[in-house]
Structure formats: C-alpha cells, structure tokens
Amino acid sequence: MADAPDLDKLKADLKKLQADLAKLNKQAADAQAAVKAAEAQLAEITKATAGYDKVAAQMQQELDEDEKLIAKKRAQAEAELKALKGELDKAIKAFDKDLADQGKVVASAVDKAVKADAAAAKAEQDVKDKHAALAALKGQPAATASKLADIKALLKEVTKAETKDDAVAMYFFAVEAATVADALTVPTADAFEAQIVDAQAAIETAKDTAATKKADAAKAKATATEAGKKQAAALASRRTDLLKALREVKPPPGP
C-alpha cells in the first residue's frame, strides 16, 4: 500500500509555488512596464528627430555661408574704420560690462528680497509661537491641578500598599509621586500675573517686528522687480542703444 501523502509538506510546497508565481508575475509586470517606457522614449526620439538629418545639413550649409559673408563684410568694415575699430571694440566691451554689472545688481536685489521674505516669514511664525506660549501659560493652572491630582492618586496607592505591607509597591508609588512633585512648580499669584503680562508684551513686540519685516520684504521685492524690469529693457534695446553709442565714438588722436 502506498504511503499516505504528507499534507503539511504539500501545503508548504503549494505556498512556495504560489510565492514563486507571484514573484514571476511581478517580474513580468515590471518587464512589461519597462518595455512600454522604452517604446515611449523611442517614439519620442523618433518624433523629435524626424527629418532632422536633412534640416541639419541645410542649416549647417546656411551657417557656413553666413560665416563667409560675415568675414567678408567685417574685413571691409575694418579696412574702412582703420584706427576707429579699436575704439569701437573698447566701447562695446565697456557697454556690455555695464550690462553685466546691472545683472549683478539684479541678482543682489533678488537675493535680498528672498532673504527679506524669509525673515518676514520667520517673524510671522514667531508671533504664532508667542501666542501659543501665552495659551500654554493660561493653561498652566489646569495642568498643575492635573499633576496634583496625579500625585494624590499615587499617594492613595502608597497608602493601599502600606495597609497590605507591600513595601515594593509602596516604594514604587512613592518614587513616582516624588518624580511628579519634583517637576512641579506652583508660581505665586503675583508671579503668574507677571508671566501673563510678559507673554502679552512679547506678543506685541513680535507683532511690531513682524510688521517691520513684512514692510522690508515688500520694499525689497519692489526693488528687485524694478531692477529686473530695468535690466530686461536694457537687454531688449541693447543693439539699438549700443549702435547709438558707437556712432558717438571718436578715433584716437593722431601722432
């Protein structure tokens, strides 16, 4: 008679096969997702580069022709300008340096605006923190009462343990009560009132600071915006303005 099948072993084998199948299914799904992603990338590349080989050749030919014409016309102009060319180059360099310096001014203004905005946000958060501190201070009497109630409950446990001659429990609850009591401070009525007054004053000071920081941030933002507009306008009119300036350049004095 054949041996009876080991049911536990069959169940274990089935569980392992199910786990292996789940792993294979996941791998298949991941592979399918990867294939789809690759196909999408290839389609995007194909679409973006469609016909570019012909266009690139045409553009390169156009560029080569433009560069030849540029060299020819530039040589003609330089021959006519003679000594004035050097002065024009200096003027162009100085003009573009002024634009670059203006860009640095804009970058500095933007950086100041970002920092001012961060300072304003920090000051506003400080106001919220001060309000939270006042709220916590107002809740201090209730918190103290809760701690005292906890101490009373622990002392009751001490008494119970004492009546049962349970020194271990008596010691434990006494230590717990002492820990709560040592961490507890009950301010006098005058001291508590002074704490409330100080907390309210701290809120008002924080509000004033926040208002100042907010105004500073608005001013810094306006300065950065104006500087950016000025630079954008200067860049947009660069060629017109520069050509006008170059027409005013004089050749160097003769020997």
- pLDDT, position 210: 96
pLDDT value, residue 233: 96
Do both 136 and 235 map to the same domain? Answer: yes
Half-sphere exposure of 44 (CA within 13 A, CB side): 6
Q: CA-CA distance, 206 to 125, in Å (whole number)?
A: 9
172 and 60 part of one domain: no
User: Given this model, what pLDDT does residue 254 score?
Assistant: 65
- Same domain (yes/no): 162, 229: yes
pLDDT confidence band for 4 (50 / 70 / 90): low
Task: Give just the sign of the alpha carbon dihedral 146, 151, 154, 159.
Answer: negative
Closest by CA to 172, choosing from 184, 162, 185, 182, is: 162
φ, ψ of residue 197 to 5 degrees: the values are -60, -45
DSSP state for residue 200 in the 8-state scheme: H
Together in a domain, 108 and 191? yes
Question: Is the pLDDT at 2 greater than 70, yes or no?
Answer: no
First and final C-alpha spacing in the chain: 127
In this prediction, residue 7 carries a pLDDT of 76
Residue 119: per-residue pLDDT:
96
Same domain assignment for residues 75 and 35: no
pLDDT in tens, 113-143: 999 999 999 999 999 999 999 999 999 999 9
Q: Are residues 94 and 161 in the same domain?
A: yes
Burial classification of residue 197, based on how many CB atoms lie within 10 Å of its CB (0-12 exposed, 13-18 middle, 19 or more buried): exposed
- Predicted pLDDT of residue 252: 82
3: pLDDT confidence band, cut at 50, 70 and 90? low
Structure tokens at 185: 């401070």
Asked if 93 and 182 sit in the same domain, the reply is: yes
Is the overall model pTM greater than 0.95, yes or no? no
Give residue 120's pLDDT: 96
Residue 1 confidence (pLDDT): 44
146 and 64 assigned to the same domain? no
- Residue 114: phi, psi to the nearest 5? -65, -45
